[in-house]
Amino acid sequence: MKAPTIKNDLFVMLIFSAVILTMPIWLEPMGANYPDLLQKFAIFGIFAVGYNILFGLTGYLSFGHAAFLGIGSYTAVWSFKLLTMNIFPAIIFSVLISGLFAMLIGFITLRRSGIYFSILTLAFAQMFYNLAYSVLTPITNGETGLQLTRNDPRIIDRLFSEAGEGLPSTDFFGFAMSGYSGFYICAALLIITFFISQRIFHSPFGVKLRAIKSNQTRMKYTGYNTRPYLLAAFVISGMYAGLAGGLMAATDPLAGAERMQWTASGEVVLMTILGGVGTLIGPMLGVGIIKYFENIFSALNDQALLQAYAFMPDWLANIMVAITSPFVGEGWHLTLGALFVFIVIFLPGGIMEGIDRIKKLFTKKPVEPEKEGSLS
Amino acid sequence: MSNTILEIDNVQKSFGGLKALSDLNLKIEEGKVHAIIGPNGAGKSTMLNVCIGQLSPDSGTVTFNGENLIGKSPHEINQTGISRVFQTPEIFPDLSLLQNVMIPAFAKREGAFKMNIFRSLSNEHDVQDEACKILEDIGLIGQLHSHAGSLSRGDKRRLELAMCLIQHPKLLLLDEPTAGMARLDTNKTIDLLKKIKEGGMTKIIIEHDMHVVFSVADHISVLAQGTIIASGTPDEIRGNPKVQEAYLGGAHL
């Protein structure tokens, strides 16, 4: 586990950027290159990469990160309503406001560690979720969700032009947030945030966070005040979640409280573990797999399955459909659950551990166990 | 007479009904190796725990270089210049040996908190070189990049010692640095302790192995039932009948 050099890091960045930006091309054969899904890949990528800074480096398992996602979304929609349809101020505010909330929640929850920390974060997220439906309805518009209307003030936009017919759409200095241009804007942000995450992983700050995960007692008796380190990691990952939430609102200007529900918090935990906790690339892989399954598997039905088995004799095809149909369509959660169980039992290090093992098979050299938690 | 660097004054500590420390008074002189011996349960580790802020005493004061340590948190106490080697090695098992030694060096250089996100670890050449030098001194340079968790018990102890030494503490606390070590390993540790003694670092060492105590200590205090029953040079302690009775059971030293 040699310390990764800067050259090495830049090489990884280059490959990563190339892979992300060419996604519309290489995802085509898999039928996953439509803009909505691509945007989701990039947005949840940002969410998971940020979550991994907290969970992967410090080992603090937050079950409430969806709260920041929701806060980011509401902030962005309010920016669209009050200021302008340009997403630039919207995502800046999303990041700042969710960072503020993260500081507040982190300040309280980080007094505990382990399961108590997880429960506290879960409690906060559920609290926000329920507030959004009840006392905060003037801000969140309750169950309907916060939507754009024609009568919104949009102060900055009004300076330049009159309100047009129908609802305006979001843009980034003229580039529409829908379709492929929307994907490229999200992808650019993903690449920037991934770069920041890589810098954190390979900085003295990052290695100190990993030391806190490894042995917090030793850190204290080595002269470190661990609380501000944890808080910094918590706030950074909260800001990532806020950015992701802001982008969700930017690609689809509607913010609902269900974005803050515990299932949404659980999803990012799932993605991170599936891909490989504490690795740089792992969370991205987790996002890819989960979002792909969600979109592709959930769209399959018996008809589509029959077509897929068309090469088989009819009786066999019917049996195969009967066996596989519970796993697709509405039942795609079953596939996801089975996959998750398989990964946790056989590959506790996630897909990244699987890749490492395959690599070792080919190198044949007795390599020392590599668990550094970085791609080098 | 040299300066007193650490003064423990009238410290009391009880756990429920058990008096772990009663009226403990101890002065440690600067630059000396001060050994604390005593039977199990005498309060030796409790005394160290009070010194580093892990426990707060019921009453009494601990003064280090004229500064009161009571009420300070462990990281503040470390930053004043006290490092401790624990009875069971406290290292970072998931990190490499190099990182294990670099982290305390950062603490010494940057203080209790610094968010240097955009520096690269591989560019910290000064700290890396210093860490390599210390790992060479303790004979672990060959495993620079392996996980600390995979080391043997003796090597873990030596690594922890290296982690403390790189901070150049004014006072080093060693809690049974050779416990559970084979004789060969113990001798290696004695050599290492003698070597760092030349640096003039003050040390408090708790040890059961009399061979180690009499090879490295300048001064010995005997702790029994939470209080010091005898204090003196190794020769004085060897000849003290009270000590022989209370602790050594008349064994020949």
List, in sequence order, every beta strand (DSSP E) within chain A.
146-147, 171-172, 175-176, 254-255
> Is residue B62 domain-shared with residue B178, that is, in the same domain?
yes
Residue A226 has pLDDT above 90, yes or no: yes
> Is residue B204 domain-shared with residue B253, that is, in the same domain?
yes
Residue A316 has pLDDT above 50, yes or no: yes
B163, closest residue in chain A (CA to CA): A222
> Is residue B9 domain-shared with residue B77, that is, in the same domain?
yes
Determine, yes or no, domain membership for B113.
yes
> Is residue B142 domain-shared with residue B188, that is, in the same domain?
no
**CATH number assigned to the domain comprising residue B45:** 3.40.50.300
> Is residue B185 domain-shared with residue B220, that is, in the same domain?
yes
> Is residue B182 domain-shared with residue B74, that is, in the same domain?
yes
Judged by a CB distance cut-off of 8 A, whether residue B92 touches chain A is yes
Measured between CA atoms, how close is A295 to chain B, in angstroms?
36
Using the 3D structure, point to which of B168, B189, B208 is the last residue of a domain.
Answer: B168
> Is residue B164 domain-shared with residue B174, that is, in the same domain?
no
A223, closest residue in chain B (CA to CA): B75
Contact A202 B83 (CB under 8 A): no
Most B CBs within 10 Å: which of A11, A214, A231, as the mutation test of the B interface?
A214
Name the CA radius of gyration of chain B, rounded. 19
pLDDT band per the 50, 70, 90 thresholds, residue A371: very low
Instruction: Report the pLDDT value the prediction gives residue B36, as an integer from 0 to 100.
Output: 93
- Cα angle for residues B124, B126, B129 (degrees, 5° grid): 105
More confident residue, A199 or A150: A199
Average pLDDT, rounded, for chain B: 87
Our count of domains for chain B comes to 2
Most B CBs within 10 Å: which of A198, A218, A370, as the mutation test of the B interface?
A218
Instruction: Report the pLDDT value the prediction gives residue B147, as an integer from 0 to 100.
Output: 92
Entry pTM: 0.90
Determine, yes or no, domain membership for B86.
no
Determine, yes or no, domain membership for B21.
yes
Q: What letters, b where the CB count within 10 A reaches 16 and e where it falls short, cover A305-333?
A: bbeebeeeeeeebeeebeebeebbeebbe
Domain containing B138 equals: 93-168
Average pLDDT, rounded, for chain A: 89
Determine, yes or no, domain membership for B87.
no
> Is residue B40 domain-shared with residue B155, that is, in the same domain?
no
> Is residue B176 domain-shared with residue B76, that is, in the same domain?
yes
B91, closest residue in chain A (CA to CA): A218
Q: Helix (H) and strand (E) counts for chain A?
A: 18, 4
Q: Helix (H) and strand (E) counts for chain B?
A: 9, 10
Query: Over pLDDT 70: what percentage of chain A?
Result: 95
> Is residue B103 domain-shared with residue B144, that is, in the same domain?
yes
Determine, yes or no, domain membership for B88.
no
A chain contacts of residue B118, beta-carbon cutoff 8 Å: 199, 203
* DSSP code, position B248: I
Contact B102 A207 (CB under 8 A): yes
> Is residue B105 domain-shared with residue B218, that is, in the same domain?
no
Q: What is the mean pLDDT of residues B122-135?
A: 91
* DSSP code, position A336: H
What ipTM does this complex have? 0.90
Of A203, A211, A222, the CB nearest to B116: A203
> Is residue B175 domain-shared with residue B130, that is, in the same domain?
no
Contact A205 B95 (CB under 8 A): no
Of B91, B104, B116, the CB nearest to A204: B116
Using the 3D structure, point to which of B129, B144, B168 is the last residue of a domain.
Answer: B168
Q: Give the highest mean pLDDT range of A8-17, B115-124, B206-215, B241-250.
A: A8-17
Instruction: Report the pLDDT value the prediction gives residue B246, as an integer from 0 to 100.
Output: 66
* Span A68-124, pLDDT tens digits: 999 999 999 999 999 999 999 999 999 999 999 999 999 999 999 999 999 999 999
Using the 3D structure, point to which of B135, B168, B201 is the last residue of a domain.
Answer: B168
* Span A118-146, pLDDT tens digits: 999 999 999 999 999 999 989 998 888 89
Determine, yes or no, domain membership for B36.
yes
Of A2, A222, A226, the CB nearest to B104: A222
Judged by a CB distance cut-off of 8 A, whether residue B94 touches chain A is yes
Instruction: Report the pLDDT value the prediction gives residue B248, as an integer from 0 to 100.
Output: 57
pLDDT band per the 50, 70, 90 thresholds, residue A17: very high
* Span B146-178, pLDDT tens digits: 999 999 888 898 899 999 999 999 999 999 888
